[in-house]
Amino acid sequence: MKFKYLIIVFTVLIVIIILITALFPLIIGGPDFAAEFKVFSLPLLIFMIILLGGIGTVLLFNYRLFSLLEREDWPALAYYLEQKIYVKGRYSSRYVRLLASSYLVITDFQSVLKLESKAQLAKPSVINKNVLLFGAARILNKNHAEAAAFFNSHMHKAKKEQWVRWFYAFSQLLAGSFSIAEPEFSSLAVSSKSALITGLSAYFLHDPVAKYSTDSEKCQKTAILGKNRVIKSHKNFTGWKKEVERSSANIHIAIIRKYIDETGNWIFGVKGS
């Protein structure tokens, strides 16, 4: 639904609810009952007006933001958020996340790093909440060793710690440090509660990590163990696809979607298209 239509629908809903709350006692019980019920209905009516009014104010206040998101106008969204963050100093986690995501979509990786640098000075906590985005910028910019160092330094402070661990291992893999990536992937393949992390870890253990492992047989056994854990939890390829779609809106999922699809094909024996 278009955002402007959502505003209209919400406004109409407010009016309807207020009318029902105000007129229902009069319709059901007549004037005498309405007068008695007024003692109970008036506070409820006031509460509903305040609540709905507050929600409406939030929608109107964020109209520009929601409209740009709806249109997927990433350059305009980036400019809008730059004004909020850099000019007005509003380094909220939501604004920082949306601006970093916008930069990633338009492949402006240097601006992501600039945002990180400024946020680190203004409000360091937002970095820990958006580690995956800032690390992703380094991976997409092919700064694999730098990405690995970044993920490693934030591994135990960030939200989604297991995803940070996985991206640390992935960055080491891309940097050619297979011996460092192997123990991380091995641990996640047998312990992660996320099917995606388990499957991806097993997939990379199977190939290429096993080729460079000092104990290729053990590496392959761990890969199969991780593979079987995913099969046990998701039964079939359809279950896997549903899991992927539930997470697909996340930028860190989007940048590795190719590997996620390959992982699903490998686990469930589906031939790639």
pLDDT tens digits, 71-122: 889 999 999 999 999 999 999 999 999 999 999 999 999 999 999 999 999 9
Between CA 42 and CA 89 the distance in angstroms is 41
Residue 94 sits at the vertex; the CA angle it makes with 88 and 100, to the nearest 5 degrees, is 85
Between CA 37 and CA 32 the distance in angstroms is 9
Q: What pLDDT does residue 44 have?
A: 62
Per-residue pLDDT of the chain (273 residues; tens, 9 = 90+): 455 555 566 566 666 666 666 655 555 555 554 555 555 556 666 666 676 666 666 666 777 887 888 888 999 999 999 999 999 999 999 999 999 999 999 999 999 999 999 999 999 999 999 999 999 999 999 999 999 999 999 988 877 899 999 999 999 999 999 999 999 999 999 999 999 999 999 999 999 999 999 999 999 999 999 999 999 999 899 999 999 999 988 999 999 999 999 999 999 987 654
Exposed/middle/buried for residue 222 (C-beta within 10 Å: 0-12, 13-18, 19+): buried
Exposed/middle/buried for residue 258 (C-beta within 10 Å: 0-12, 13-18, 19+): exposed
Max Cα–Cα distance, the chain, nearest Å? 88
Residue located via tokens 């319709």: 27
Between CA 102 and CA 222 the distance in angstroms is 38
Between CA 231 and CA 239 the distance in angstroms is 9
pTM: 0.80
Q: What pLDDT does residue 158 have?
A: 78
